[in-house]
C-alpha cells in the first residue's frame, strides 16, 4: 500500500542523467532509494525505470513510498496560532517563531509549544508536522517544518552538507567598540557542569561548534551583528558571543545582569534548495520591533 506519493515533472532545461543520479542529486537518502528500487516504486511517465537508465527533460517522475524510515512525530493539537507563515508548499512550511515559546515538547503529552500549534494548523490540511531544526525558546525567527516524512531526509541532508544556511541578527554588548569587524569563533561547546540548563565552552568534552559573525552597525554601547551558523549546538550563538566578552542583550542565562526585556537574537534568514528541484530559495523573517532602537 502506498503511504506517500510525490510527482515531479522535470524542467525543459534539465540535463539528462540516470535515475540513480537524479535521486542522489535530489539528496534522497540511500535507505529511501533502496525501498524505491526493490519495491519498483519509482516511475518515469508511469512505468518503472531501472536506476542505471536515464531520465530526460519533461519526464514525469513519480515516487511512491510503501515504506518510510522516518519516525512519526505526534503532537498534542493547540489551536492557538502565535506564529506567522512566511512560506508554504506541498512539502514544507516556514514560519516566524515568536520569542518566549518553546519550539517543541520535551515530554509526552506536553502542549503549548510551537510544534503543537503547527500540528493543529497542518491537521486542517490532513498533514502532520515534522521538525527539522529548533530555535531556543527566547529566540525568534525563521523555523522550517516538514509536512511529509519523505522530505525530512532531504532537508536533513541539506543541513548536514551545509546546503542550507541560517543567518541571525544579534544585538551585543560592546561598550568600548573593541569587537572585531568580523571573525569566526571556533570553540567546542558542552553542558555546564554547574547548571545542566546552560552550555559552556568546553575544550575537553565539548562538541565542535563554529560561528561566523560580522558587525553591521554600532550604536552607543552596542553592536548589531549578522551571525552565521556552521554547526547547530544548543545555545551556540549565545555561548560563543558571551565567551568572547560580548554577550547578547537580554540573555537571562549568559548576560544575567542585563535588564533588556527580551533576548535580542532573531533568526532572520533561511537559505535552502526547494526539494526535488535546483531552485534556491531565501526566506526572511521581519526583524521584531524590540530591535528597532538599536538599528536606527
What DSSP string runs through the chain?
---EEEEEEPPTTPPPEEHHHHHHHTT--HHHHHHHHHTT-EEETTEE--TTSEE-TTPEEEEEES---SPP----------SEEEEE-SSEEEEEEPTTS-SS-SSTT--SSHHHHHHHHHHTTT---EE-----TT-EEEEEEESSGGGHHHHHHHHHTT-SEEEEEEEEE-TTS-S-SEEEEE--EEEETTEEEEEEE-TTTPBP-EEEEEEEEEETTEEEEEEEESS--TTHHHHHHHHTT-PBTT-TTTSTT---SS--EEEEEEEEE-TTS--EEEEEPPPPGGGHHHH-
Percent of the chain residues topping a pLDDT of 90: 87
pLDDT band at 242 (very low <50, low <70, confident <90, very high): very high
What is the pLDDT, as a whole number, of residue 65? Answer: 86
Contact in structure between 267 and 285 (CB atoms under 8 Å): yes
136 included as an active-site residue: yes
What is the pLDDT, as a whole number, of residue 70? Answer: 64
CA distance 26 to 149: 15
Q: In the predicted model, is pLDDT for residue 296 greater than 80? A: no
Domain locations in the chain as residue ranges:
4-65, 71-161, 166-267
- The lowest-confidence range among 130-134, 214-218, 259-263 is 130-134
User: 166-267: same fold as 4-65?
Assistant: no
- Residue range 28-40: mean pLDDT, rounded: 92
CA distance 224 to 76: 38
Catalytic residue among 78, 136, 174, 251: 136
CATH top-level class of 71-161: alpha beta
- Residue range 37-63: mean pLDDT, rounded: 95
CA distance 86 to 283: 7
Write down the mean pLDDT value for the chain.
94
Q: Report the topology of domain 4-65.
A: 3.10.290
pLDDT band at 229 (very low <50, low <70, confident <90, very high): very high
What is the pLDDT, as a whole number, of residue 69? Answer: 65
- Residue range 94-101: mean pLDDT, rounded: 97
- The lowest-confidence range among 60-69, 123-132, 185-194 is 60-69
CATH top-level class of 166-267: alpha beta
Amino acid at each position: 500500500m502506498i503511504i506517500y506519493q510525490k510527482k515531479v515533472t522535470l524542467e525543459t532545461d534539465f540535463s539528462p542523467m540516470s535515475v540513480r543520479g537524479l535521486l542522489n542529486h535530489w539528496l534522497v537518502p540511500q535507505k529511501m532509494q533502496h525501498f524505491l528500487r526493490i519495491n519498483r516504486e519509482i516511475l518515469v511517465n508511469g512505468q518503472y525505470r531501472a536506476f542505471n537508465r536515464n531520465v530526460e527533460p519533461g519526464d514525469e517522475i513519480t515516487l511512491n513510498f510503501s515504506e518510510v524510515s522516518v519516525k512519526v512525530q505526534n503532537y498534542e493539537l493547540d489551536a492557538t496560532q502565535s506564529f506567522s507563515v512566511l512560506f508554504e508548499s506541498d512539502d514544507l512550511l516556514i514560519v516566524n517563531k515568536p520569542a518566549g515559546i518553546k519550539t517543541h515538547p520535551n515530554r509526552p503529552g506536553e502542549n503549548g509549544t510551537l510544534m503543537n500549534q503547527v500540528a493543529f494548523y497542518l491537521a486542517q490540511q490532513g498533514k502532520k508536522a515534522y521538525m527539522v531544526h529548533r530555535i531556543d525558546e527566547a529566540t525568534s525567527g525563521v523555523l522550517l517544518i516538514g509536512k511529509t516524512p519523505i522530505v525530512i531526509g532531504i532537508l536533513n541532508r541539506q543541513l548536514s552538507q551545509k546546503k542550507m544556511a541560517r543567518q541571525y541578527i544579534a544585538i551585543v554588548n560592546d561598550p568600548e567598540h573593541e569587537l572585531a569587524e568580523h571573525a569566526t569563533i571556533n570553540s567546542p561547546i558542552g553542558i555546564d557542569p554547574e547548571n545542566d540548563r546552560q552550555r559552556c565552552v568546553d575544550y575537553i568534552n565539548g562538541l565542535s561548534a563554529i560561528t561566523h559573525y560580522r558587525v553591521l552597525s554600532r550604536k552607543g554601547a552596542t553592536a548589531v551583528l549578522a551571525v552565521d551558523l556552521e554547526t547547530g549546538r544548543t545555545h551556540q550563538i549565545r555561548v560563543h558571543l558571551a565567551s568572547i566578552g560580548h554577550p547578547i542583550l537580554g540573555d537571562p542565562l549568559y548576560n544575567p545582569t542585563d535588564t533588556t526585556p527580551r533576548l535580542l537574537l532573531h533568526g532572520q534568514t533561511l537559505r535552502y534548495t526547494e526539494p526535488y528541484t535546483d531552485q534556491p530559495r531565501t526566506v526572511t523573517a521581519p526583524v521584531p520591533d524590540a530591535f528597532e532602537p538599536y538599528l536606527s
